[in-house]
Amino acid sequence: DIQMTQSPSSLSASVGDRVTITCQASQDITNYLNWYQQRPGKAPKIVIFDASRLKTGVPSRFSGSGSGSHFTFTITSLQPEDIATYYCQQYDDLPYTFGQGTKLEIK
């Protein structure tokens, strides 16, 4: 299985801050990576697909970059509604696997 390692596991930031989460794959996955946002008590919601493409309707403060085995997810100006746990997910190979998540909190 392809292992996905996210860091940090938790993050506390202030409204307006720039926030960056990284995801490292155990092998080259090209750009076959998605990012999800999971708000408390809700199902995950796709935010970024194909490593860098913003899902329709998602605010432009969210972005993704990277290829190969190293990826980043950025929120340029943190808003209160961004409080959630964020997960990366690879779809280069089966079984699909997720990172362990990054819990984002407001400072």
Does the footprint of other proteins cover residue 73 (CB under 8 A)? Answer: no
Contact region with other proteins (CB under 8 A), list: 20-28, 61-69, 76-84, 89-97: 89-97
DSSP string, 3-46: -EEEE-SEEEE-TT--EEEEEEESS--TT-EEEEEE-TTS--EE
Residue 34 tokens read as 């998605």
In the complex, least distance from residue 40 CB atom to other proteins, rounded to whole angstroms: 12
Does the footprint of other proteins cover residue 39 (CB under 8 A)? Answer: no
Does the footprint of other proteins cover residue 107 (CB under 8 A)? Answer: no
Selected binder of other proteins within 34, 37, 63, 69 (CB under 8 A): 34
Distance CA 71, CA 101 (A): 14
